[in-house]
Structure 1
Amino acid sequence: MSNITEKAVLEFLERNPDKSNKREIARGLGVQGSDRVALRQILKKLETEGTIARTGKRQFASVDAPPPTSVVKFEKIDEHGDLVGRCIGTDGLYGPDITCVATASRKRNETFAIGDRALCKVGKANDGLWYAKVIKKFDDTPQTTVIGLFEANRHGGRVKPTSRKDKHEYLVEKALSKDAETGDIVRIKLKKSKPHGPQMAEVVEIVGTMDNPKSASIVALHTHDVPDEFPTEVLAEAENATAQDTKREDLTHLPLVTIDPADARDHDDAVYAKPDDAENNKGGWIVYVAIADVAAYVQHGTALDDEAFRRGNSTYFPDRVAPMLPEALSAEQCSLKENEIRETFAVEMRFNAAGDKIDHRFIRGTMRSAAKLSYEQAQNAVDGKPDEKSAPLLETVLKPLWAAYACVGKAREKRQPLDLDLPERRVALDKEGNVLGVYTKDRFDAHKLIEEFMIQANVCAAESLEKTHSPLIYRIHEEPSDEKILALGIFLPTIGMKWTRGEKKTSARFNRLLEQSRSTEHEHLVSEMVLRSQSQARYSHENYGHFGLNLAKYAHFTSPIRRYSDLIVHRALIRALGLGPDGISDVESKRLEQIAEHLTTTERRSMAAERDATDRYLVAFMSDKVGAEFQGRIAGVTKAGLFVKLNDSGADGFIPAARLSEEYWLYDENNAALVGDRTEMRYEMGMPVLVKLAEATPVTGGLLFEMLSDPRPAREELLKPKRARHGRDNHPPRGRKGGSKKRTAASQGRPKNIRLGKRK
């Protein structure tokens, strides 16, 4: 009778998740001879019962203890905005929920979505939950088309992909090239190729040329599959759209003004403020936020609505916009143009002298914008430098707006939203699309004023819909996960700061941390680490609050021209408040969970495309500066090397660890640093450095730097990281001469008495 038991097998798998094949289990439990039959029967029984899962041909894992290295499929987004998945076995998914908290891959800004698969390091945290760090993302859907640069030859041509992820080159026969020429940006369809032969393809579309200065946006659009052309029937619907007939309040007597970037083409919000005359609200203010009434023009079930939903939002590039709605609506009928009558969906808000909102009401009305002002114009006027356009509005419109903002700012100060005011890059182009320069966008009180009043209007939308028990899509931002706070708490002592263990996570606590670092050498580093500790904002049909803004209820209401989420909120308000026949439909109300997930995905797609285009423009701008030296900071540390962000332009580039010096560099994950194995000197996150531009590749949008700054001295208070025991570290150990071992009979698996002759 065998002594092996089910309990013994399960305990072994839980203690040794990395020893999961049948042979290792047998060896670990001392199973020999005929007992192997009993072990095989126990494994089969546990698998049938669902207690363990088969992770390979002869490999098993307890469903309660995933292997330390697993392939994970992400199934949902949790309350922190993080992706959650389970391990993939031979018979499907198994085991506990695993939260993706970080990526260990070399690819910065790599995006993940529901349905993606990835090879992950999996571990259990102190809170008993399982977490994953992505090592490599797998593409679930076979790649069928590629964007690349065409190089013609007498046989047809070859295509070099614009994506740094794709290391192939594709061959195109002449008959399948669509007459593409050298320098064309093409979309190719992959053809069936021999496993070890050249990769063959067919040109299906010529999307632009590499010598076009605007090619950066063209590549980003097509690489991220951002729709940029509207179907004919959608354009026709937009041209012929008329506003839904409904009762409206006349707001044309209010001198509402739009305040936007100087180059804005659509204007979907206008503002006006005046003192509250009510006896019971002395020192209070009434603020109007008037929004374009897009719901009156875009009804559910139309081709126009379907296309807007598919796009999810507008995508903005330095030289163009891929809009959610055709220009006939976004730049014309729904744009709050100066001195023109427009349908509006407005909210009237009353604030007391302390800046607290005490009342609000929604209005479907008509309005006429008194003026179109830029942020600079409005700010200059309030600062005592009005121009011809802003001067007549200074006393009656602008000064009251600033006074109301100062009042509301009192409550904002008490609320303590997260004060993470990071600089935003702006790529300046000439008319042809050539890069003139890269600047940090100026941020005025005018920006903050509009932002604050939009936030207040969004809160009103969420409050009204909750009060009427109406379904809605919230804009949520959950508090940071315990795992991210733990990582922050481990890191901060290395720069003389701390996060007390068990301390409550609040936006005010993060603000104190940011304030402590202000005007110190660690200011940029702390801002970066606080940003990384935050969850990603997303859309949800359930309310989890907005941690960053420190608000319990929040929904997007103020930008229906460029965000489909706001259009859904408008429709929900129309139905809940009885403001017309064009409210949210029963079909939409039942699909809010799927709609929210889709809009989160399209938003992240647009963010990736916008970042990609900006990076490519920056590389184009830097391409004639190879050999030049630049000041920057280390913005990312991986086992493979360092990411450096330049101070002036904000351009990102990479320095491979193997090129830093002759030193062997170890990755100190907890302290975000590369540490010299021999000297223990350190290149640390946030460290200011001088670098030389070694290479700029506009095709892939990549910059390669050479490090000119010496590393920082060793830090005795920190433990030296260990060398990786298995696999490659950041480069092979130095000192081995010859590069190969002498061939011996034993190494070739031959008997000792057989000599190895020379090949003739």
Structure 2
Amino acid sequence: MKRKNPTQNSRKTSATTADWQSRDPNYTAEQGRYEDPVPSRALILETLAAHEGPLTVDDLIGHFGLSKLNQQSALEKRLGAMIRDGQLVQNRKGAFGPVAQMNAIAGVVQAHRDGFGFLIRDEGGQDVFLPPRQMRSLMNGDRALVRITGTDFKGRPEGSLVEVLERGSREVVGRMHVDQGIAYVIPDNPRVQQDLLIPQDATLGARHGQMVVAEIIAPPGNRTLPVGKVLEILGDHLAPGMEIEAAVRAHSLPNEFPDNVLAEAEAIPDTVQPAQIKGRVDLRDLPLVTIDGADSRDFDDAVYAKAMRKGPFGTGGGWTLWVAIADVAAYVLPDSPLDLEAAARGNSVYFPQRAIPMLPEKLSNGLCSLNPNVDRLCMVCEMRVKPDGSVAKSTFYEAVMRSQARLIYEDVAAILADPSGPEASKVPHVVPHLQALEQLFQALFKSREARGAIDFDTNETKIVFGTDRKIERIVPIKRNIAHRIIEECMVAANVESAKRVAKMKIAAPYRVHEKPDAMKVQALREFLTERGLKLGGSDRPETEDYAAMLARTKGRPDQPLIQTVMLRSLMQARYSAENLGHFGLALTHYSHFTSPIRRYPDLLLHRALKHLIHKKAPKDFIYTVDSIEKSGAHCSMTERRADEATRDVATWLKCEYMSHRVGEEYDGLVAGIAPFGLFVELSGLYVEGLIHVSQLKNDYYKFEARHHRLIGERSGMAYNLGDAVRVKVVRVNLDERKIDLELIQLKSSGSRSSKVQGSDTESRALPSNKKKRRSR
């Protein structure tokens, strides 16, 4: 770079250069790091903000009087780093200015399979919509600067690309295609919108149709596709388990433990040592049991409830509830290889017939898992529960336990339904304790209902495999009384742990679920009004208003539809260092205490509780509010990442399942509506497909987002959420994970009328005669 004589610039700005060191708030720190310090980021930003306009690197060198070449070079590198971090923008003339003053916003790009994308702002706030033309040179995960240019048809801010700050993932997983001598990879991740061109000398010998991992060696441009080279051949496209291998790599899921992590785990004794028990409460004679799914291998929690006698005049009563949780913190020490790896993973990921654990198997399925009839270290929340289901008091302590039985949900439900039946005869010693747990649950559930917690009736499914890992069927998961018992016991322990750390003012992660956005509430109100319903509360309804609405809709034919729309109006739960409460559960305090084997925030909370148990001052805790907030944001991201990966796998498997059913007809319900068509769930199959808007005959159809419907422009024919339809499977695309359906018949409408007069159109879909889906 050709630079002017800095002394010339110095003469121009001599009045402001002599004392930059005294004005720099970080100068002392810079002195400790560099022999010849340069202005800190803070001073650079302050200087640029105070100036009339952008300044070039020469202007800044002159302004600060940096006469040494190494200082000039260091300043130039710092400016480059500030651009990459989204603090500065450099204009076409090479001058620098603060992002805010240059009308630019920094963030991470999130691409959509249909060509558009969003910029997730670094500082938070409403996402910026990026139309397809702005996404041509961007890829999912890129950090970029955009400028707001207006609003889209939904009222969202719309932006244009200013600069790519940093490219995201350099690897792409996809299917190799060779067409007329040209090789390219079709990405498996639907968020990666562009195909990847592969030069002939960079295919690694991959054949047409094989799944590969490729590295991007040249990013996309406005008129060019990205170019890459094959790094790894995964195998044939339809090989058993390939969908998981692809999802692991497509979503950058850490799936192999480094050698130092495995070495640390292997060095831990296989059994609980006498020295570890010293100072702990001995609960080995307490009849604690674990209750989990039949496929579970890591057992985080064990429970036991004891009914208390009533005193004179009807006083007393209730129960003492012990919730014992695996003491992962006794083995995973802060900043150890095990800890750093667990923090990076954030959580375990569960795929059909395969899990990627947060901790090595020796800990996750062995030493930390509360397996039956072996000593295990645990953290205990002991609660005194009153007859009305409220918790009178609680205490936390470290203990050693021995699970009396490993029970599964279905067997516990059978035992409670028939205490003298065959299942009960297998474990007669725990039957009275299970009955006490059921009585306790009834009290806890009444307390839940009294505070107005939302109780959505969600439909979860399970994929049942046959030989060669081919799907035999997809079945619904039915929640029974045993599921509800464990859920309420865990919620009680989570609440008490959150109250404990909040009272002691120690930095710890909370599980927060904020109130719904006002705009989404308004849209929900309009939707409900159409169905003769009114949501209570004002613009900011309370949880009890949602619960009351759900109660009023029970028994209605459109109840599933109403529940779906209500669920979509809610915020997504996340982790935060600030206690913001949990809207869905109607709780002022909530955290995650009960699953430290598979969730990193639970481990952080255990460390905070241990700090308090050992009578240490909260201010001396190893974590700060800022570090907890940062970790919480990361774990919220890894949670979403795991959800996306497992959803991708489930979708791929369902597409593969339906690929053998092309041409068959099914009944279904409209489960989602978009400008481009209707998403239909096929009855009995629990699979979703799309009726493209072009398949809706003899009219121009328009999308009304507020009313969740498509409207025929001439006929007034309306397709609504909840409509019963008859469809035919016409196409299955495994690469795009799409199932295309053709409408055979509209059997019945989920709305009060299938025809609408005077509809208020928000956007226009393609004409029919032209070619052309929260966590507690």
Question: For the superposition of Structure 1 and Structure 2, which TM-score range results when normalised by the shorter chain?
Answer: 0.7 to 0.9
- In the alignment, which of 505, 524, 538 is matched to residue 560 of structure 2? 524
Written as runs of structure 1 = structure 2, the 5 A alignment for 1:212-361 is 212-241=239-268, 245=276, 247-277=279-309, 279=311, 282-361=316-395
Contact 1:295 1:582 in 2 (8 A): no
Query: Aligned partners of 2:503 and 2:497: how far apart in 1?
Result: 10
Partner of 1:557: 593
Partner of 1:190: 216
- In the alignment, which of 422, 431, 434 is matched to residue 470 of structure 2? 434
Contact 1:574 1:583 in 2 (8 A): no
Partner of 1:730: 765
Contact 2:265 2:360 in 1 (8 A): yes
Query: Aligned partners of 1:342 and 1:194: how far apart in 2?
Result: 54
Name the SS for the 1:263 alignment partner. coil
Q: Which amino acid is 2:266 matched to?
A: E
Q: Specify whether residues 197 and 296 from structure 1 end up closer, same or farther in structure 2 by C-alpha distance, changes over 3 A only.
A: closer
Query: Aligned partners of 1:355 and 1:158: how far apart in 2?
Result: 61
Contact 2:689 2:739 in 1 (8 A): yes
Matched, 1:132 2:167: no
Compute the TM-score of the two structures, normalised by the length of structure 1. 0.78
Query: Aligned partners of 1:284 and 1:378: how far apart in 2?
Result: 22
Name the SS for the 2:352 alignment partner. coil
Q: Which amino acid is 2:462 matched to?
A: R
Name the SS for the 2:643 alignment partner. helix
Contact 1:86 1:97 in 2 (8 A): no
What is the CA deviation profile of residues 454-495 of structure 1, one whole-angstrom value per residue up to 9, with x for unaligned ones?
A: 000011111111222212110000111211111111111222
Query: Aligned partners of 2:742 and 2:562: how far apart in 1?
Result: 25
What is the CA deviation profile of residues 580-619 of structure 1, one whole-angstrom value per residue up to 9, with x for unaligned ones?
A: 9999952455511111111111111111111111111111
- Percent of matched pairs sharing the same residue: 31
Matched, 1:399 2:431: no
Contact 2:518 2:539 in 1 (8 A): no
Deviation at 1:526, TM superposition (A): 0.4
Q: Which moved more, 1:276-285 or 1:369-378?
A: 276-285
Written as runs of structure 1 = structure 2, the 5 A alignment for 1:457-476 is 457-476=493-512
Q: Which amino acid is 1:467 matched to?
A: K
Name the SS for the 2:766 alignment partner. coil
Number of equivalent positions: 657
Matched, 1:374 2:401: no
Q: Specify whether residues 547 and 199 from structure 1 end up closer, same or farther in structure 2 by C-alpha distance, changes over 3 A only.
A: closer
Query: Aligned partners of 1:395 and 1:388: how far apart in 2?
Result: 6
Query: Aligned partners of 2:619 and 2:434: how far apart in 1?
Result: 34
Q: Specify whether residues 521 and 733 from structure 1 end up closer, same or farther in structure 2 by C-alpha distance, changes over 3 A only.
A: closer
1 or 2, which has the higher helix percentage?
2
Name the SS for the 2:433 alignment partner. helix
Query: Aligned partners of 1:182 and 1:86: how far apart in 2?
Result: 35
Contact 2:678 2:691 in 1 (8 A): yes
Q: Specify whether residues 431 and 350 from structure 1 end up closer, same or farther in structure 2 by C-alpha distance, changes over 3 A only.
A: farther
Deviation at 1:699, TM superposition (A): 2.8
Contact 1:341 1:366 in 2 (8 A): yes
Deviation at 1:143, TM superposition (A): 5.7
Deviation at 1:235, TM superposition (A): 1.0
Name the SS for the 1:624 alignment partner. coil
Deviation at 1:176, TM superposition (A): 2.6
Deviation at 1:687, TM superposition (A): 1.7
Q: Which amino acid is 2:474 matched to?
A: V
Deviation at 1:500, TM superposition (A): 5.3
Q: Which moved more, 1:562-571 or 1:157-166?
A: 157-166
Partner of 1:13: none
Partner of 2:73: none
Written as runs of structure 1 = structure 2, the 5 A alignment for 1:75-114 is 98-100=125-127
Query: Aligned partners of 2:130 and 2:530: how far apart in 1?
Result: 22
Partner of 2:60: none
Contact 1:101 1:483 in 2 (8 A): no
Q: Which moved more, 1:660-669 or 1:711-720?
A: 711-720
Deviation at 1:730, TM superposition (A): 2.4
* Structure 2: runs of 5+ lacking an equivalent: 1-48, 55-88, 93-97, 110-117, 133-138
Query: Aligned partners of 2:119 and 2:241: how far apart in 1?
Result: 42
Partner of 1:161: 187
Name the SS for the 2:595 alignment partner. coil
Query: Aligned partners of 1:487 and 1:537: how far apart in 2?
Result: 21
Deviation at 1:304, TM superposition (A): 0.7
Q: Specify whether residues 329 and 170 from structure 1 end up closer, same or farther in structure 2 by C-alpha distance, changes over 3 A only.
A: same
Query: Aligned partners of 1:733 and 1:434: how far apart in 2?
Result: 37
Q: Which amino acid is 2:758 matched to?
A: L
Query: Aligned partners of 2:348 and 2:203: how far apart in 1?
Result: 33
Query: Aligned partners of 1:198 and 1:643: how far apart in 2?
Result: 31
Deviation at 1:197, TM superposition (A): 6.8
Query: Aligned partners of 2:237 and 2:522: how far apart in 1?
Result: 46
Query: Aligned partners of 2:697 and 2:704: how far apart in 1?
Result: 17
Matched, 1:719 2:753: no
Deviation at 1:142, TM superposition (A): 5.2
Q: Which moved more, 1:581-590 or 1:271-280?
A: 581-590
Deviation at 1:426, TM superposition (A): 1.0
RMSD, aligned α-carbons: 4.1
Q: Which amino acid is 1:475 matched to?
A: R
Query: Aligned partners of 1:639 and 1:71: how far apart in 2?
Result: 30
Q: Specify whether residues 349 and 117 from structure 1 end up closer, same or farther in structure 2 by C-alpha distance, changes over 3 A only.
A: farther
Q: Which has the higher relative contact order, 1 or 2, with Cα contacts under 8 A spaced 6 or more apart?
A: 1
Query: Aligned partners of 1:153 and 1:631: how far apart in 2?
Result: 39
Contact 1:268 1:560 in 2 (8 A): yes
Query: Aligned partners of 1:339 and 1:641: how far apart in 2?
Result: 56
Written as runs of structure 1 = structure 2, the 5 A alignment for 1:612-631 is 612-631=648-667
* Structure 1: runs of 5+ lacking an equivalent: 1-44, 58-62, 77-84, 106-110, 740-760
Partner of 1:484: 520
Contact 2:671 2:680 in 1 (8 A): yes
Q: Specify whether residues 668 and 575 from structure 1 end up closer, same or farther in structure 2 by C-alpha distance, changes over 3 A only.
A: same
Matched, 1:688 2:727: no
Query: Aligned partners of 1:526 and 1:101: how far apart in 2?
Result: 29
Q: Which amino acid is 2:280 matched to?
A: R
Deviation at 1:180, TM superposition (A): 2.6
Deviation at 1:396, TM superposition (A): 3.0
Q: Which amino acid is 2:737 matched to?
A: G
Partner of 1:149: 175
Name the SS for the 2:126 alignment partner. strand
Deviation at 1:115, TM superposition (A): 6.3
Q: Specify whether residues 313 and 97 from structure 1 end up closer, same or farther in structure 2 by C-alpha distance, changes over 3 A only.
A: closer
Matched, 1:566 2:602: yes
- In the alignment, which of 189, 192, 203 is matched to residue 177 of structure 1? 203
Contact 1:104 1:133 in 2 (8 A): no
Q: Which amino acid is 1:642 matched to?
A: L
Q: Which amino acid is 2:305 matched to?
A: A
Q: Which amino acid is 1:274 matched to?
A: K
Query: Aligned partners of 2:755 and 2:663: how far apart in 1?
Result: 36
- In the alignment, which of 178, 181, 201 is matched to residue 228 of structure 2? 201
Query: Aligned partners of 2:320 and 2:569: how far apart in 1?
Result: 37
Partner of 1:636: 672
Name the SS for the 2:745 alignment partner. coil
Written as runs of structure 1 = structure 2, the 5 A alignment for 1:653-692 is 653-692=689-728
What is the CA deviation profile of residues 616-649 of structure 1, one whole-angstrom value per residue up to 9, with x for unaligned ones?
A: 1111111101111122222222222222222323
Compute the TM-score of the two structures, normalised by the length of structure 2. 0.76
Query: Aligned partners of 1:153 and 1:499: how far apart in 2?
Result: 57
Name the SS for the 1:556 alignment partner. coil
Q: Which moved more, 1:622-631 or 1:586-595?
A: 586-595
Deviation at 1:496, TM superposition (A): 2.2
What is the CA deviation profile of residues 126-166 of structure 1, one whole-angstrom value per residue up to 9, with x for unaligned ones?
A: xxxx9737899999735632111124689684432223344
Name the SS for the 1:387 alignment partner. helix
Partner of 1:37: none
Written as runs of structure 1 = structure 2, the 5 A alignment for 1:409-424 is 409-424=445-460
